[in-house]
Amino acid sequence: MKLASIRFIAADIKQMVAFYEMILGRKAEWLAPVFAELVGPGATLAIGASETVALWKEGSGEPGANRTAYLEIQVEDVDAEFERLKDKVQLVHDLKTMPWGNKTFQFRDPEGNAVSIYMPETEAAKKRFATR
């Protein structure tokens, strides 16, 4: 089994796609007017317009409603990413080192989803991510 992608349902798909193009530094591939993917090493971020929910079951998804999941993006230099993004995003918290060894900052995307950008900082964290 392979974890292949994370999908957000967006009320404003154009705004969400543009936001994640800015965050990830890559262009989205629009597979349909209501669906785009940002493909990267290891995983894909898929963004579907809210009308795509009805393809599964009406009412089974709502843009920005989940307040328990975090999209985590690993980078080489979290300090540089913080400087690049801090004035462009709605910060939840500034840079800090978490108890499990990742240095991170967190913000919300235009529809309220939580995003963490991090890098392994401690030796234990670096070792843990060396084979991922």
Q: How many CB atoms lie within 10 A of CB 86?
A: 13
Q: What distance in Å separates the CA atoms of residue 97 and residue 45, rounded to the nearest whole number?
A: 25
Is 3.10.180.10 the CATH number for 69-132? yes
Which sequence spans correspond to the domains of the chain?
1-50, 69-132
Residue 2 is predicted with a pLDDT of: 82
Three-class DSSP category at 1: coil
For residue 14, give both structure tokens: 């154009």
**Per-residue pLDDT at 118:** 98
Q: For residue 121, what pLDDT is reported?
A: 98
**Alpha-carbon distance 117 to 82, whole Å?**
8
The pLDDT assigned to 42 comes to 84
- Burial class of residue 71, CB neighbours in 10 A (0-12, 13-18, 19+): middle
One CATH from 3.30.720.120, 3.40.50.620, 1.20.210.10, 3.40.50.1820 for 1-50: 3.30.720.120
Q: Which one, of 111, 110, 128, lies nearest residue 119 by Cα? A: 128
> What is the structure's pLDDT at 36?
98
Supply the pLDDT for residue 54. 76
Q: Which two tokens stand for residue 64?
A: 């920005």
Per-residue pLDDT tens, the chain, 132 aa: give them: 888 899 999 999 999 999 999 999 999 999 999 999 999 988 999 999 998 887 777 776 777 777 778 999 999 999 999 999 999 999 999 999 999 999 999 999 999 999 999 999 999 999 999 988
Q: Specify the DSSP class assigned to residue 11.
A: S
User: What pTM value is reported for the model?
Assistant: 0.89
